[in-house]
A and B are shown apart, each in its own frame.
Chain A
Amino acid sequence: MKALGIAATGMLAQQTNVDVIANNIANANTTGFKSGRAAFQDLIYQSVLQEGALTSTDGTARPVGLNVGLGVQGAGVVRLNTQGGLIQTANQLDLAIEGNGYFVVNRPDGTLAYTRSGNFNLSAEGQIVTLDGYEVDPGVNVPSGTREIAINAQGVVMAYVDNETTPVELGQLSMATFLNDAGMKPIGNNLLEETTASGEATTVTPGDPGVGVIRQGHLENSNVNIIQQITDLISAQRAYEMNSKSIETADQMLQTANQIK
């Protein structure tokens, strides 16, 4: 009786499903977070009887085969890269991307990471950094005495220093795009890494064709749809119960078989 094992794969799949949904709900208020969805596929089939096999000397053939599927497996967690809502914060270093693309972040070990979360700050040295203190790439140095920073939609950073009325151009924020965004690897702290599945990062300027623009003074909300998540949670629970019912039935049948004497 394979039903015990098959139903177990179903229960495991629903556990993964609930884990992913729980992570989405937990991050419903995380800036730039993209919701994930667990995707499943049916497992391989065990062929008990081959379709098309001859059933008699007259050349008649078995019209259908007997293939018993062995359950379900997780195929991946798909990140839904739709735009999150923009909320106004009035903080001049809060940046949101409207459209395609990622901010590039320099990690202390010298490697690059990518993020949609633009809640930046200034470091003690005047660098624009993330909440973890990682420098935004390419580095922009804000001189002391700056009273206001203006960042336009194309990522040009201007500063009004002291009492000057004309701004000084400090630098240009670039962004990165990927052929397959969904293939990037999330590493926590709102950061994503490039992988072989995502393809190499293409450095782009905000506002280029097909690339998003920067909105200063805004943050991108997570794109988690809470109602959707709750209904998904309910279906996951019911599917889990259904699989446990298969196990119960298989168990009772085995018990019946054990009582033959």
Chain B
Amino acid sequence: MGTTNYVSLSLATALQRSLDIAAHNMANASTAGYKATHPLMEAVDPTNSGDATQAVNYVRDKGVYVDATQGALVPTGNPLDVAVSGTAWLGFEAEGGQAAYGRDGRLAVDNEGRLVTMSGAAIVDVSGAPITIPSDAGPSITIASDGTITDRQGATIGRIGMFDVPQIDKMTALGNGLFVPAADAGAAQPSENSKIAQGYTEQSNVKPVVEMIHLMDIQRAYERAVKMMDDENDLTKQAIQRLGRVV
């Protein structure tokens, strides 16, 4: 029995995972601050024989990478919506107090007066501390492009932190728009060259047309893989029939 079926099978399995990733991107096409993820495939030669005529290369999904390109900024009119223009990430305090980063700046004030995301994670300032809005300021706050929050009288309340996170591709997605950097990635540094836009949200950076083409690609490649299994199957069948024939 040849290895053809296993090569085809490795492709089909990898393609199923690619479809899952494409479907997840499309499901999040209207999630603010969402960053598309794309699969990475690699060729694996399990024999390592070095003999090119013997080489069998399986397909394996090596991982996914986060596409960090900027999403479009759209105005919402909500003073508590902030979007980052540039490469910096907003800092958040995820469950259990761990530091997380994300680009979803749809904020709200919780009943303790802290600025939080839709799922209740507090946004932090440059020093990593949550930002509390005094009760008399309410939602009528102004956020400058450097993240400084001022109330109606012009008094400074705090400053939203923007961070440069090293090794973005190694970040683990937590869901709810939050990412945790890899343990060995080093500390995130305050960012200098990004700007915050108040009253805007960053749209998801999923490119619908590109994802649709991925879908077509995945489907056809899958059909190819299955066709190859069929052909291999036919060959084996013919071989058995022919060799088993009594002359």
Contacts and interface: CB of A to CB of B under 8 A. Distances in A.
Contacts of A236: 30
Given A52-B182, A180-B111, A81 B139 contact: yes
A37 interface: yes
Interface string B6-38: 000000100111011111101111111010010
Contacts of A82: 77-78
Interface string B216-245: 101100110010011001000000000000
Category for how many chain A residues contact B: 35 or more
Contacts of A199: 111, 135
Nearest to A253: B222
B19 A1 contact: yes
Contacts of B173: 42, 45, 67, 69
Contacts of B175: 41-45, 69
Given A42-B176, A177-B138, A239-B29, A197 B208 contact: no
B104 interface: yes
A196 B138 CA distance: 16
Interface residues of B, number: 71
A259 B222 CA distance: 12
B24 A48 contact: no
Given A10-B26, A66-B64, 16 more contacts: A6-B23, A40-B30, A40-B32, A49-B63, A67-B64, A67-B173, A69-B28, A72-B27, A72-B28, A181-B139, A242-B208, A249-B219, A250-B23, A253-B222, A256-B226, A260-B233
21 contacts: A3-B20, A39-B32, A42-B34, A42-B175, A42-B176, A44-B174, A51-B172, A63-B63, A68-B20, A71-B24, A75-B119, A81-B139, A100-B140, A179-B113, A180-B108, A210-B137, A243-B26, A246-B26, A256-B222, A257-B222, A260-B229
